[in-house]
Amino acid sequence: MCQLLGLNCATPTDASFSFTGFCQRGGATDHHADGWGIAFFEGRGLRLFIDHESAANSRMAEFLRSYPLKSKNIVAHVRKATIGEVSLENAHPFTRELWGRHWVFAHNGDLKDYFPKLHSAFRPVGTTDSERAFCWLMQELAKSHASLPSVEELTHTLRELIPQVTRFGTFNFLLSNGEAMWAHCSTKLHWLVRQYPFSKATLMDHDWTVNFAEVNQPGDRAAVIVTTPLTSDEQWTAFEPGELKVFVDGVVV
């Protein structure tokens, strides 16, 4: 299956440290070598980079590791193809517009025989179960709310919609609109918050240790959500199966 990485931050933050370790799982330290992608929200704008090559060997991924883009919401994905061929249109994250906002979605898991009814406003471009699920979520959110609702209202609606997808299989996902980040666990997902007083962290998949106390200010804070912990010396918390969390400004709300 695939792996997910999300950052939700109080101040614009770069993902170089986490993304460097995460990329190694795309073909070097793990077998998720069937494409990758990363999305950075910048205000109402969005920078999206996707590739059907492996993250560990991609020149684009190498560029992004050395060219830190700062964002308050970042979603990344490395893919192990199960449903849908290895191609650019099947690389996560996927994006759609709703209520004049960009939405970004990445999924880990398989949804067997999942072909929901979709109207013309939200249609998949590729052939993955993941993109079909994203289109259906966007469609149902649009049906439920006439305009952009509060984070609390969106969370309530998502809690009602998710069981209609999970009955088809595994539905670990990250979803963000640049204001908040929703993370749902079917089987495996972990999180932590890096905040003052900061400490050192050492990547599991790459020889790199950072002392965050030397590079952050007291007001900085970042929630990191990942399929499998990225570091060996930080306290990661596992999601409960079926749990949905929403993060705003690096805090669970």
Extract the residue ranges of the chain whose pLDDT is less than 70: 1
What pLDDT does 227 receive? 97
What pLDDT does 67 receive? 85
What pLDDT does 243 receive? 98
What pLDDT does 68 receive? 83
User: What would the pLDDT profile of 207-221 be if each residue is shown by its tens digit?
Assistant: 999 999 998 889 999
What pLDDT does 251 receive? 97
Show me where the domains of the chain are located.
3-252
Please state the pTM of the whole predicted model. Answer: 0.96
Phi, psi of 153 (to 5 degrees): -65, -40
What pLDDT does 29 receive? 86
What pLDDT does 32 receive? 77
Active site residues: 2
What pLDDT does 164 receive? 98
Is 3-252 a domain of CATH 3.60.20.10?
yes
The span from the CA of 159 to the CA of 204, in Å, is 33
Q: In which residue are the tokens 């965050």 written?
A: 212
Q: Which parts of the chain are beta strand (E)? A: 3-14, 36-42, 45-51, 70-78, 94-98, 101-108, 172-176, 181-184, 190-195, 200-202, 209-211, 221-226, 237-238, 244-248, 251-252
